[in-house]
Chains A and B, each alone.
Chain A
Amino acid sequence: MKFLISLAFKNLTRYKRRTIITALAIAIGIAMYIFIDAMLMGAEYESVRNLKWYETASARILDDEYWEERYQYPLDLNISDPDPILERLEAEGITASKRIVFTGDMILSRAEFGEDGNIPVRVTAIDPSRDFDVFHFGDTLIEGRFLEEDEEAILIGSWFAEDIGASVGNWVTIITRGNGGFYEAIDLQIVGILNCPNPNVNRTLIMMPIKTADYYLAMDGAATEINIRLPDQAEVEQEIATIQGLLNGNGITVMSWETMAKDYLAIAEAKRGGTGMILFLIFIIAAVGISNTMLMAIFERIRELGMMRSLGMSDMKIRIAFMLEAAGIGLIGSTIGVIIGVIANYWIINVGIDFGFLMREMDIGYRIQSIFRGTWNPGTIAVAFFAGILISTVVAYLPTNRALKMDIPSCLRHQ
């Protein structure tokens, strides 16, 4: 065996150019696999994080019937007395904040925006003193200031501001229907612009103080939802069961972010299938490259193979020698591939690729506003490394076998 390993090593060094070319083909395939996997995994991880940080929180308390009617944003299906619930949660060390979410028409005047118009909007009324403990808007302000408790003011997303041509200081009117169905018109001044990393939020974000909304919508202290922030490592379902127990039903329910984002997760799952397909294709391309190079390498050495057989070397030993040589190429290629992949990973994790131009114009499902960053995935790196060696070895088997089926004179005469 020692002799066979030594022979395989000598052959590797004897045919340097072939070894380098084949190893590079393997390396590029493996590096691409590691890089793309890191990028897609990173995009998915960041999307889920941005979904929880800016849309769903970890969990949400709602009226029992609200979720069924959620697209109507009903104000009458509310949590009538949210403050005792918040106090109970706080006593248990759970961070939570109440919100009122409603829809309406935003009226834009010629005097402020150069053109009269109206657009349908969704408004989120927040408790300015607590909301940013649950959601992560605290570091997204790019212009103006945050909301104060009881003022007729709004914060808007930067993309939304761009779309309507708004700036800090502009006034807008929101026509909506209060709790019960009556019309109400609210004049609100834009006091701040937020650049939310979640594009779905940044495109539509309008926030106002909950006290102002409570007054105009006649909510009498009620809220449409209470959002909960749980630690990243928390078992969400277990925590929800605990919170549900604390609340004793009372016509309200607790939903996890996974339940609320079921549609997103279904799309992400489908996307993962597509991602798997992309990675599989990259794998196939790499494998075809490796096998092609190995085929050429073996066929150009059929005469050498015939000579070895005529000198009495057994077919098994010849097969093992060739496969060891292929494994050696795989090892070199995989090592280089992993090194390139890790360097590329380091870059995409720390710098990333700016897809802002694409994300601004269209929604491709990811909750990422511009820069796609990767994530470390040691499992993929290990799989890619060993797969590179294994594929090289396996694809060497067939041409070697075919050559061994030829008789010795044919091998020796082979051109």
Chain B
Amino acid sequence: MRTKRTQKLLSLLVMICLIPSSLAAMSAEEIIRKTDEMQTFDTAITEGELQITDRFGTKISTFIAWSRGSEESLIEFTSTAERGQKILRTVDSIYLYYPDAQELIRMQGAALRQGMLGSDVSYEDMTGDNDRLSQYEVVLDGEQVIGDRMCYKLSLTATTRSVPYPKETIWIDKEHFIVLKGEYSTKSGRLIKEIDVLETGRFDDLVLATTTRISDTMKADSQTLMIIRELQVNVPIDSRIFSLDELSW
């Protein structure tokens, strides 16, 4: 009789101890919301480079990018071979500008799957908004260590056909809410793209991915490293920069 009472008391004690941690635990939706929030700025100016490796070797292209919110951005390449080439992303379209030919191309359809400058980052990857919760059903699969960081592991299954990757598995850093690893698959579960954050860095109060490896798994011997050298957030940017009229100037 006494033993039973002791057992009940112990159980109650354990439950009481667990209450704060379960109250503090975040749901899958909250993790996604927090991550999207952490990775979206009112405005940002980024300088960096793409190291594109394929079977012919490695090519380095440097760029400077201006962005506003999650839907507008302009990337201008500054490396010699691509100097002046620009990619403008507006709310609903992507445009390329080639200064030598003075030609403006709107990317659409199958062309969106092409790699930007032949990299593993497709133009498609630049589209879509950060409102993943309206497009995916999210499930928290638990926690896992990636590198030396504890991460949330989440599975996302598309609820709409309009997203490029119907299935995603992402690992989000518990501390800084950065996606440290991502696996992007087709409807039938075929892995077609992988993203791994190799290094993170601190910019003022922010911790962000500075070196990210992107691999199109359908391209053999191919990977792209995206390296962020400089980042300024919430700085004033002339809104005309995101207009089509300004693109060719």
Of B7-15, B158-166, B197-205, the one touching chain A: B158-166
A182–B109 touching, CB < 8 Å: no
A103, closest chain B residue (CB)? B110
Residues in B whose Cβ lies below 8 Å from that of A182: 158, 161-166, 186-187
What CA separation (Å) do A311 and B108 show in the bound complex?
90
Interface string of A58-87 (1 = CB under 8 A from B): 000000000000011110000000000000
Is A173 among interface residues, defined by CB-CB distance under 8 A?
yes
Interface string of B124-135 (1 = CB under 8 A from A): 000000000000
Is A175 among interface residues, defined by CB-CB distance under 8 A?
yes
Is A116 among interface residues, defined by CB-CB distance under 8 A?
yes
Q: Report B102 CB to chain A, min CB distance, Å.
A: 23
A218–B161 touching, CB < 8 Å: yes
Interface string of A90-107 (1 = CB under 8 A from B): 000000000000011101
A181–B164 touching, CB < 8 Å: yes
Residues in B whose Cβ lies below 8 Å from that of A177: 110, 113, 164
Is B188 among interface residues, defined by CB-CB distance under 8 A?
yes
Is B30 among interface residues, defined by CB-CB distance under 8 A?
no
Q: Which of A166-188 contact B (CB under 8 A)?
A: 173, 175, 177-185
Given A182-B186, A183-B192, also A120-B165 (CB < 8 A): no
What CA separation (Å) do A120 and B113 show in the bound complex?
10
B109–A178 touching, CB < 8 Å: no
What CA separation (Å) do A116 and B219 show in the bound complex?
8
B220, closest chain A residue (CB)? A116
Given A181-B163, A181-B164, A218-B161, also A120-B110 (CB < 8 A): yes
Is A132 among interface residues, defined by CB-CB distance under 8 A?
no
B161–A181 touching, CB < 8 Å: yes
B127, closest chain A residue (CB)? A181
Is B218 among interface residues, defined by CB-CB distance under 8 A?
yes
A104, closest chain B residue (CB)? B110
Q: Could you say which interface size class chain B belongs to?
A: 20 to 34
Q: Which of B147-192 contact A (CB under 8 A)?
A: 158, 160-166, 186-188, 190, 192
B128, closest chain A residue (CB)? A181
Residues in B whose Cβ lies below 8 Å from that of A178: 161, 187
Residues in A whose Cβ lies below 8 Å from that of B190: 185
B55, closest chain A residue (CB)? A116
Residues in A whose Cβ lies below 8 Å from that of B188: 184-185, 216
B161–A185 touching, CB < 8 Å: no
Q: Report B4 CB to chain A, min CB distance, Å.
A: 57
Residues in B whose Cβ lies below 8 Å from that of A71: 109
Q: Report B182 CB to chain A, min CB distance, Å.
A: 14
- Among A103, A107, A173, A185, point to the contact of B109 (Cβ < 8 A): A103
Q: Which of A187-225 contact B (CB under 8 A)?
A: 216, 218
Given A182-B164, A216-B188, also A107-B218 (CB < 8 A): yes
Q: Report A67 CB to chain B, min CB distance, Å.
A: 15
Residues in A whose Cβ lies below 8 Å from that of B230: none
Is B221 among interface residues, defined by CB-CB distance under 8 A?
yes
Given A72-B110, A120-B110, A183-B166, also A175-B161 (CB < 8 A): no
What CA separation (Å) do A182 and B113 show in the bound complex?
11
Q: Report B239 CB to chain A, min CB distance, Å.
A: 28
Q: Which of B107-128 contact A (CB under 8 A)?
A: 108-110, 113
B163, closest chain A residue (CB)? A182
Is A370 among interface residues, defined by CB-CB distance under 8 A?
no
What CA separation (Å) do A353 and B221 show in the bound complex?
47
What CA separation (Å) do A178 and B108 show in the bound complex?
14
Residues in A whose Cβ lies below 8 Å from that of B163: 181-182
B218–A179 touching, CB < 8 Å: no
Residues in B whose Cβ lies below 8 Å from that of A103: 109-110
- Among B109, B164, B186, point to the contact of A72 (Cβ < 8 A): B109
A102, closest chain B residue (CB)? B110
B109–A180 touching, CB < 8 Å: no
Q: Which of B55, B160, B165, B218 has the most CB of A within 10 A?
A: B218
What CA separation (Å) do A173 and B55 show in the bound complex?
20
Is A2 among interface residues, defined by CB-CB distance under 8 A?
no
What CA separation (Å) do A73 and B110 show in the bound complex?
9
Residues in A whose Cβ lies below 8 Å from that of B164: 177, 181-183
Is A118 among interface residues, defined by CB-CB distance under 8 A?
yes
Q: List 28 A-B contacts (CB under 8 A).
A: A71-B109, A72-B109, A72-B110, A73-B110, A74-B109, A103-B110, A105-B218, A116-B220, A116-B221, A118-B218, A120-B110, A175-B218, A177-B164, A178-B161, A180-B162, A181-B161, A182-B161, A182-B164, A182-B165, A183-B113, A183-B164, A183-B166, A183-B186, A184-B188, A185-B192, A185-B218, A216-B188, A218-B161
A sample of 5 more A-B contacts (CB under 8 A), given A183-B165, A183-B166, is: A116-B220, A180-B162, A181-B163, A182-B158, A182-B166
Which 10 residue pairs spanning A and B have beta carbons closest together?
A180-B161, A116-B220, A72-B109, A185-B190, A103-B110, A182-B166, A181-B162, A185-B186, A184-B186, A180-B162
